[in-house]
Amino acid sequence: MRNWLEAICASMLLLLGLASCGKAPPAPENRTAEWPVVGGDNGGQRYAALGEIDKTNVHGLQVAWTYRTGDYFRGGKGESTTAFEASPIVVDGTMYICTPNDRVIALDPETGKEKWRFVPDVDQRGVYEAVCRGVSHWRDAAAAPAEPCRDRIYVATIDARLIALDARSGKPCAGFGKAGTVDLKAGLGRVDFGEYYVTAPPLVVRDLVLTNAFVKDVQRLDAPSGAIRAFDARTGELKWVWDPVPPDKVPVTAEAVKAGAVLTPGTPNAWGLMSADPEQNLVFIGTGNPSPDHYGGPERGDMDYYGSSIIALDAATGKLRWHFQTVHHDLWDYDVGAQPVFYQHRDAGRARPAVVGATKLGFLFLLDARTGKPLFPVEERPVPKSTVPDIPAAPTQPFPTLPAPILPPKLTRDSVWGVTPIDRKACRDAFDALDYQGPFTPPSLRGILEYPGLGGGINWGSVSIDPVRRRMLVNVQMAPFTIRLVPRAKAGTAAGSDLVGFGPQTGTPYGVARGPFLSPWGTPCVPPPWGRLVAIDLDSGRTLWSRTLGTLANNPKAPLIGGLFEWGTPNIGGSLQTRSGLVFIGATMDQNIRAIDTDTGKELWKHELPFAANSTPISYKLSRTGRQYVVIAAGGHGALGEKTGDALVAFALPR
């Protein structure tokens, strides 16, 4: 019988030209797309206009190739742990990616074969965790096609350098800065080891390369400046500086820096990805709070005027266009680490440019990109007063009405959670010892519960946007923290206290001890889910669906039950949407990449990776006869206790 059926099938193939006698494989899609910028475009929408992989065939995805970078470390011997959080870019048939220690690698996007590698030999002394989230590409329109460095790859490093490389060879561009390198410590004054470093890709707008940086938390009042700088893409010359001082202070200019001036210390930094609207020549930036994070007394002054805000600058000059503050007088480290995402908002059939500002609180502010004014009402609501007399708290905080805040319910003693009665009791005892009045409980000497924690909410992975379906996808985590102020006289003994992670906050009356609010089993002391994926209608602001994201399958403290329950996990990384109505996301601690139907939230496919993928996937198709690929970096997050690694994994449908 089988031979007879096969004979009929073969005859039909000859007569009809079909690919199989069962379900025909997908017809080649008559479109191609590269991935020229981390985030897909300068607006950061994380959207691929490709549909070869769709809801009917995504279950057939297979590993097409795997590339191992060789750059990872678990910590020890003076080296920091690593986190492989990079998203590759694909330009002119070549993929470029950076590793945690800023090695830049060029690959064949269809085979994973290495073309070249650049090793900058970074100094990682004092670095909290070695990470690079991507590189940037620029083409010199004035250069001849065969001229070296006509196409350049820029990488900014964890030891504060901006490096320009020839995209063809990987060799430094001699005419840029000094032998291909600009020293980003110039103009900062005193910089301690590991105190100032870059984790985000530079933002290229026309012929300028913009840089920002992470300034290490809770160290000192006069920490290095958080200024945004723009450099000439050809020469590396400093062209402008945005020094984020309050309006009543005189900002330091680029000309002053070149003459030897030091940028204003202690200003809010911006460590996440930046974005742009090239047509309006605007740059959008999410800022953190000023140093040293958890102190807002008179010594800090009004330095947080631009803190925890969405900022719009003129890309050509660095002049401020507008700003919108998401947290007033931030005492919690609720900074805006998520990339502001540019899109076109539709209201009564009329389109206008807009920006999504996503925050660690799980708040989503939809703003007019030209003015910074909210598209939906924002309410100023009263919040708790500070119990520390010399650290005032803002009397109100802004709450968006739409989209509704993705906040967990207020925790109560009865809702404190544990896997067993024993660890639930331990969590309750810890809860009883803390101050807690909701997400804006000001830091205290007793110690507070911060929920959601200082990691979010929504972290640097930001949101993805489908501009056709008018849909935004948001992954959030509920990872509560504790924060306790330590008087200066006792700060010397606080490093070994019950709360891990002591910060000296030098120059203020208080150090700070902070750490995760976890049970003895290593699970959050708050009810699950601890990770969610939420779909929101862009135009109405209404939530369409919400689902749990991830399991504790790879939690070493709960190996027997971790994978049995849909509890979600704390998640770091971003999502990718495609034209076929799929969202691809890693981000979770269970080491899976998932494909989910954006119409329903139903999981359609998942694949276990060699390591957790705390990154954002990308998708591309290089030719009409080629395949659509989905690629994700999987290397874990050492600071989260995950297994660290170095895998770049590509998926495609069978040929």
The model's pLDDT over 32-63, given as tens digits with 9 standing for 90+, comes to 999 999 999 999 999 999 999 999 999 999 99
Per the CB < 8 A criterion, the answer to whether 443 and 415 are in contact is no
Residue ranges with strand state E in 401-493: 448-450, 463-466, 471-477, 481-487
What is the pLDDT confidence band of residue 66, given thresholds at 50, 70 and 90? very high
Helix and strand numbers (H, E) in the chain are: 3, 43
Compute the Cα dihedral for 387, 391, 396, 397 and give only its sign. negative
In angstroms, what CA-CA distances link 410 with 400, 515, 549?
A: 17, 20, 21
Per-residue pLDDT at 181 exceeds 90? yes
More confident call, 5 vs 564: 564
Instruction: Name the domain count of the chain.
Output: 1
147 in any annotated domain: yes
498 in any annotated domain: yes
Largest pairwise CA distance in the chain: 89
Structural domain of 61: 23-652
13 in any annotated domain: no
pLDDT 10s digits, 73-109: 877 666 778 999 999 999 999 999 999 999 999 999 9
pLDDT 10s digits, 537-546: 999 999 999 9
Report pLDDT for 553: 79
pLDDT 10s digits, 221-262: 999 999 999 999 999 999 999 999 999 999 999 999 999 999
Report pLDDT for 82: 92
Structure tokens at 195: 């105190």
Burial classification of residue 184, based on how many CB atoms lie within 10 Å of its CB (0-12 exposed, 13-18 middle, 19 or more buried): buried
pLDDT 10s digits, 107-134: 999 999 999 999 999 999 999 899 999 9
pLDDT 10s digits, 448-457: 999 999 999 9
Residue ranges with strand state E in 282-363: 282-286, 309-314, 320-325, 341-347, 350-358
DSSP 340: P
7 in any annotated domain: no
Closest CA to 505 of 220, 215, 126: 220
pLDDT 10s digits, 494-510: 544 333 489 999 999 99
What is the pLDDT confidence band of residue 9, given thresholds at 50, 70 and 90? very low
pLDDT 10s digits, 639-654: 777 889 999 999 999 9
What whole-number percentage of the chain has pLDDT above 70? 92
What whole-number percentage of the chain has pLDDT above 90? 84
Per-residue pLDDT at 15 exceeds 60? no
Q: Residue 256 contacts by C-beta under 8 Å, 6 or more apart in sequence?
A: none
| Annotated catalytic residue, options 71, 217, 304, 333 | 333
Tell how strand 114-118 and strand 130-131 pair up.
unpaired
d(CA 315, CA 283) in angstroms, rounded, equals 6
5 in any annotated domain: no
d(CA 412, CA 157) in angstroms, rounded, equals 44
Structure tokens at 15: 């007569």
More confident call, 556 vs 373: 373
Report pLDDT for 525: 96
d(CA 450, CA 453) in angstroms, rounded, equals 5
Report pLDDT for 373: 98
pLDDT 10s digits, 525-562: 999 999 999 999 999 999 999 999 999 877 665 555 66
Per-residue pLDDT at 19 exceeds 60? no
Mean pLDDT over 138-167 rounds to 97
Per-residue pLDDT at 3 exceeds 60? no
Per-residue pLDDT at 10 exceeds 70? no
Average pLDDT, the chain: 92
Q: What's this model's pTM, rounded to 2 decimal places?
A: 0.93
Report pLDDT for 563: 63
Question: Which residue stretches of 433-552 are H helix?
Answer: none
Report pLDDT for 552: 81
Report pLDDT for 555: 64
Structure tokens at 50: 């490709």
More confident call, 472 vs 488: 472
* Ramachandran sector of residue 360 (left: φ over 0; alpha: ψ -120 to 50; beta: rest): alpha
Report pLDDT for 492: 61
d(CA 487, CA 88) in angstroms, rounded, equals 45
267 in any annotated domain: yes
Mean pLDDT over 197-213 rounds to 97
Report pLDDT for 557: 59
Report pLDDT for 22: 35
Q: Is there a catalytic annotation at residue 333?
A: yes
pLDDT 10s digits, 389-402: 889 999 999 999 99
Per-residue pLDDT at 12 exceeds 50? no
536 in any annotated domain: yes
CATH of the domain at 443: 2.140.10.10
Tell how strand 448-450 and strand 396-400 pair up.
unpaired
